[in-house]
Chains A and B, each alone.
Chain A
Amino acid sequence: MSIESILIVGGGLAGFTVAQNLRTRGFTGTIDLIDPAGIPYDRPPLSKAYLLGDKDAAGIELAPASWFSEHRVGLLRATVHALAIEPLGVELQDGRKLHADILVLATGGSARPLPVAGGDLDSVLVLRSRADADTLRGKLAPGIRLAIVGAGLIGAEVASSALALGAEVTLIDPVETPLVPAVGPELARRLHAMHSGAGITVVHGTPAGITRTGAGRRIELADGRVLECDEVLVGIGIIPNTALAQGAGLATDNGVLVDEHQRTSHPGIYAVGDMARTRSADGTLQRRGEHWEHAMNTGATAAAAILGQEPPVHGASWFWSDRHGTHVEGVGDMNAEGTTILRLKEGEPVAAFNVAADGRMLGAAAIDGGLMIRAARRIIDRGIIVPPEALADPEVPLKKLAR
């Protein structure tokens, strides 16, 4: 069957990448992208440059409006109510029905609510969308007491931005040192210490309930401590938006199940980005990827698969985070069974490498060490064996080792 029309549901990075890659790969049929927010935008700046006002809405668009007309990608500002299977298509909230030869689901995730009394209050802030960032920005003012539940990537980044905007920030996490799985304990300790160093109140504790107190909020912790604040932001991860897929009978399990080519259990429907979860050929369910690059990579894979072309090869997973004027990156797997090799600078760890018994690098993380991570990524992807003493030696440029 020749494919003449493709409908993409969801205009985040993953959905946009599908459209973009379909065109670069030569697809000349109809492409429509449906999203209630209009022109696709980039989300990482929502907790940083956009929240701080350094970039405006146009500054975070993934492409200008002219790109969509030039590339004949239709943008539908609408919400999808349900998927249709026979014939394949979608039903919009306003009742309109659209059909296409191929559907791509790129519906992303929603902020995971805090599972305690008051955690679902309307007044509890989250940060997923540009509208969420606008709301948060509207609340932030000098002297505002902002409590952030969850000191992972979003929580840490908002804490840093809110502090810069003059807020009094309290950062709460049940884990004493967050981000250990992502960057290893040594760098995680250093990163977490930057919060208190910058003037943020860091609380190690588990919220048990949130109540309103007049204009403010009160957070009770499980150990009985009580925190008073003006606003609460919860950043404890996402729940994949699988309702449309489930409604259409697609296989799901904490995400829409896809094969290595992003195909769902329906041959005409693909899923990409945060909400897709890979089931390998042998049936193993992989961990659902939620990082920026994963969204882009899965979109690129889906575009190739839809057109029956050779799918791109993606290397080790990669993420970054910016806070307190420092840049953090991680690549590969810092959790896999291996030995940690640290690279120190003036007594402080600047990079950590996770190396397997056979000498292969499994993962790497660095603070303000972008070139090291770019080198580590190639070392991992190419299976280059690097002497551990060279990894530890700050005088050895990793780039030489990656060639």
Chain B
Amino acid sequence: MSLRFQRLLLILLTLVIILSAVLLILYNTRENVSYFYTPSEIDKSEITIDKIIRIGGFVENDSFNKISSSSFKFRITDERASILVTYNGILPDLFREGQGAVIEGAFVDKNIFNATNVFAKHDENYMPASIKEDLKDTGYWNKEYK
């Protein structure tokens, strides 16, 4: 085995070891690395009142209620569980029913989540606005596109 090949092997082996060490750490701390919980990850029995967390999911259809000009009520869902959210403040432009959103705040009791921040989440699909109109006209508009 030539010297340069030995050095190459040593470097690659070290890299693999470092990478697996880092990945192990990240894997075991994944709950802290994740930016938000989904509604179904939140176990109703273990809700801590007033602890600041973030939940993410879709704004449930037909759940959005405007109470006053800056006070809103809606549900966040991941199709398996849903959580009632109240919010006082300004909503981002993209926020609407069926749209992804991440909510920062705390549970005020077991069933009501009071948001202090609302972020809109958009998906990885990009499409010209004119095509959406065409699809809607022809009835091919698919809920999958959100």
- To the question of whether A and B form a pair in one complex, the answer is no
